[in-house]
Amino acid sequence: FRRVLFRSPSMLKHPEPRIYNNVIDAIGNTPIVRLNSVTKGLRAEIFVKLEFANPGGSIKDRIAPFIVDQAEKSGRLKPGGTIVEATSGNTGMGLAMVAAVRGYKCVCVMSSKQSVDKQNMLKAMGVEVVVCPAEVSPEDPRSYYSIARKIAAERPNAVLGNQYDNPANCEAHYKTTGPEIWEQMAHRLDFYVAGVGTGGTVSGTSKFLKEVNPKLKTIGIDPVGSILTDYHRTGKKVEAHPYLIEGVGEDIIPDNVKFPLIDDFVQVSDQEAITALHRLAKEEGIFAGSSCGMAVAGALKYAQKLNGGRMLVILP
């Protein structure tokens, strides 16, 4: 028996490591970990999905191939073309990766609120970065929304990614993020929590999770100063106010924010978000940014009223 076992090539052969054809194929399948320290005193179990483990550093990597695929299939984006996007930086990084792999140019239009580090990272990826003033309305021709549309319209063979209204954003999360969470959580999940900005992450993932578990509650986390919470509760637009948290909240209502798929909203201040991100680093060993701190702060707030259950929070 031993001779047969140890001489068998099939027994001796080691499995081949998984090798991706390019960096785009490495997107997704990010880990989920349990929070242990910051949740002390709460009855609910809280888990976080580490989306910064994507190759471009954020959950926005997921939507980039879907946006580009859609533009290619429709014929709007042709070889050698340009992808233009209004972004806080993360979607720009995802699109920059796809552009590099597929041979496109990339232009990212950003608000001056975004960090210089993000601008420099995009430039290092070969992206043309255009910075616009932050303290203007979305309709202002100087806003980063308006400038992105203008560039896409004026440059030959250029397309606007339009993560705010493009259904490819929600589709990416419906097809990837939602199924991953459901499998990783062993089909046991009661609450899904995500920051809300363009709406793709919260809405696309929620749609899938509610299909497989109609009792699941989706909680959107919003910065104080954003208009989304008030709109969800009253159906009316209020005036937006400045806040420091990057990449979440809105001063517009994107088409990808599907309010019927969001059961409740929790608002989080800049200070609460910063306190939470420091606690994540010092108590859980998770080094993350302000939007992650905001998501966790909101989740902890909401969990205070729960008697139990399993909650998954996206760390974007």
**Closest listed residue to residue 203, CA positions, set 233, 174, 245:** 174
**Beta-sheet strands, E only, within 45-162:** 45-50, 82-86, 105-111, 128-132, 158-160
Count of C-beta atoms within a 10 Å radius of residue 304 = 11
**Calpha distance 1→144 (Å, rounded):** 71
Considering the candidates 40, 49, 60, 301, report the single residue annotated as catalytic.
60
How many CA atoms within 13 Å lie on the side-chain side of 68?
Answer: 29
Residue 245's contacts (CB-CB under 8 Å, 6 or more residues apart) are 223, 268, 270, 273, 290, 291, 293, 294
Hey, what are 218's tokens?
């989706």
66 and 38 in contact (C-beta within 8 Å)? no
DSSP 224: B
Partners of residue 82 on adjacent β-strands: 105, 158
At residue 64's C-alpha, the angle toward residues 61 and 65, to 5°, is 110
Partners of residue 48 on adjacent β-strands: 33, 313
**Calpha distance 10→8 (Å, rounded):** 5
**Does residue 24 sit in helix, strand or coil?**
helix
Note if 60 is an active site residue: yes
> Helices 90-102 and 63-74 meet at what angle, rounded to 10?
50
For residue 14, give Cα distances in angstroms to 5, 10, 11, 272.
15, 9, 8, 49
- List the catalytic residues: 60
